[in-house]
Structure 1
């Protein structure tokens, strides 16, 4: 099961640790969802998912303030007996001494953020959804071309890295070369990123390893990118029939998500960078409602209909 260390969460979200006595190094977050334990503080624990990150907002905080010390101890004790990864107080609210005492005794880390409850919830859910999403590694190159995430795949040595290098020289941005880590953020979205070891590096046969960020600057690289289009490079086969109109989309599937895929035959003289640019722009036009292939088909149909009408008039 994918997990994120609580230490990483604290660093990313800039949280204040109110219980430094508790060792948080071994605490893991395994759920991208969060929970606001208002019902649990009121005594209702049916369907309580204790593995989620717990957030105390202004409503929960004011409810806790209205309780007597005895009721607080009882409510806090019952809540802390569950295996909770951590509890975060939003709006820079501070827990009462009884809450802290109970948390330390049960070794439940208590954290604090200055953000509002809604802002913190949306930010932490979005970030955890990416970090805890199902992930696979695929062989290919991922480049941001005019805002479209283009995943270039194909057999080793076919020219993927060279195409990416030319795209970078033309002002586009590299996400990763050779190994692409794909995460399923939602049923419609795949996000690609680079392994930490190979980030910003490209391997060119005959030259070796090239640091793209050092050579072309910070604007030439990007950490993550959604996968919008797959371009599969393959050796030219004169006996194979290739799509020349593009009326119907072909798809490939990763982690259950379908992505538009173009099979591009390679032969000497073809400019792969220009082909990738054109494919990205054409895909963007289709998303905006314009399809060149359908426009050509409509023109042909209208021309044929016009000729039929003229023939009928001549008769």
Structure 2
């Protein structure tokens, strides 16, 4: 499991949000954005740069524009010159506000792209932050299968040959959806949420030993696949070991940590005659019940204590 850092090009953001390019130096569309936050530079335009992060995209709205309108042209030029000298990746002007000549002059002097949008400042900031958090999210790639079962994202893990792909095909036949087989790219999009997807090159394909590569989308239809899904339950499939004690009540509340987020997990032993697809369906529904406040194992324990505990 190798954790990588990611970036997104400014050109991708311009295309995604339809920004108007007021000024762009040579190769500006290839500028790499590495921060998932946006800054409104009110304090910086007032001359306060303590703790300022120049790697964040800056955005000026009505408040910042009204503030610098009170300055003389010389003061405005000095403000923008000091801000752009930090080599910020880009400045965005919201609400289609007219660009100050001094702002354009400073941008050209320091080679900082100047963009504009007709969106409200808070609206475009929220949309960009949400997009950047996904694009720049910490991520790892795991060997496993990700399927959506009754709305629950279930990640199947286990040694090669244990039956993950065969189980996934059975689940797809039963009406559930495949997200990824073999390689699952998992992103931490918030402090509580992991989202999984398949690398584009193998998306919708699944490998079945004895048959080969199968295109799930073409065989079972578009309803059998999905691009992304939250990881809400991890099921570890392992070969049945005689004499090994397996959890029979489900009171332990096991979790598996991925990217520092604890995800509920189960270990299911595999042996001939067990219908894994049905077992995993029940596990997904049971996990959903637990999230909604009902724990069957705890309910049984409470009944037993009430009946026999005196």
- For the 8 Å contact 1:55–1:87, the answer to whether it is kept is yes
Alignment counterpart, residue 103 of structure 1, candidates 107, 111, 120: 107
Pair 20,82 (structure 1): closer, same or farther in 2 beyond 3 Å? closer
Contact kept? 1:22, 1:108, Cα under 8 Å: no
Larger Rg: 1
Segments of structure 2 that go 5 or more residues without pairing to the other structure are: none
Moved more, 237-246 or 8-17: 8-17
Label 1:245 to 1:195 Cα distance change in 2 as closer, same or farther (>3 A): same
Which digits, 9 at most, give the CA deviation of each residue in 1:110-166, with x for residues without a partner? 122232211211221122112222211110011111221100011111111111122
RMSD between superposed Cα atoms in Å: 1.6
Going from structure 1 to structure 2, the CA distance change for 1:137 and 1:77 (only over 3 Å counts) comes to: same
1:60-79 CA distance string (max 9 Å, x none) = 12223332211111111111
Match of 1:76, SS state, is helix
Aligned ranges for residues 1-315 of structure 1 at < 5 Å? 1-305=5-309
Name the SS for the 1:25 alignment partner: helix
Q: Equivalents in 2 of 1:186, 1:86: separation in Å?
A: 25
TM-score (norm 2): 0.93
> Which string of whole-angstrom CA distances, capped at 9 and with x for unpartnered residues, describes residues 32-85 of structure 1?
111100111111111111101111111112223332211111111111111211
Change in Cα spacing, 1:90 to 1:212, as seen in structure 2 (3 Å) is farther
Measured after TM superposition, the shift of residue 187 of structure 1 is 2.9
Partner in structure 2 of residue 311 of structure 1:
none
Runs of 5+ in structure 1 lacking a partner?
309-315
Aligned 8 A contact 1:94 1:112 in 2: no
The whole-number CA distance in structure 1 between the counterparts of 2:94 and 2:295 is 48
When structure 1 is superposed on structure 2, of 218-227 and 274-283 the one drifting more is 218-227
Q: 2: distance between equivalents of 1:219 and 1:196?
A: 18
SS in 1 for 2:279: helix
Please say if residues 76 and 99 of structure 1, whose CA atoms lie closer than 8 Å, have aligned partners that are also in contact: yes
CA distance in 2, matches of 1:299, 1:177: 41
In structure 2, do the counterparts of structure 1 residues 220 and 94 end up closer, same or farther at CA, with 3 Å as the change threshold? farther
1:123, 1:222 → 2: CA distance? 23
Q: How many residues align?
A: 306
Contact 1:229–1:280 at 8 Å: present in 2 too?
yes
Determine helix, strand or coil for the equivalent of 2:202: coil
